[in-house]
Amino acid sequence: MKTSPQTRAVLQALLVTFLWSTSWVLIKISLKDIPPITFAGLRYSLAALLLVPAMIKQRAAFASLTGKDWRNLVLLGVVFYALTQGGQFVTMKYLDTITFSLLLNFSAVVVALLGIIGLREYPSLLQWGGIAIFIGGVLLYFLPQGGLSGSMVGYLLVGMSVVANAVGSLMGRSVNREKRIPPMIVTWVSMGIGAILMLGVGVAVEPWPKLSLMNILVILWLGAVNTAFAFTLWNLSLQHLTAMESSIINNTMLIQIAVLSWIFLQQRLRWVEIVALLVAAVGIFL
- pLDDT (tens digit per residue) in 224-249: 999 999 988 887 887 788 766 777 78
Check residue 97 and give its pLDDT. Answer: 93
Buried b (16+ CB within 10 A) or exposed e, 256-269: bbbebbeeebebeb
Residue pLDDT, tens place only, 197-223: 999 999 999 999 999 999 999 999 999
269 confidence band (pLDDT: 50, 70, 90): confident
63 confidence band (pLDDT: 50, 70, 90): confident
pTM: predicted TM-score of the whole model, two decimal places = 0.88
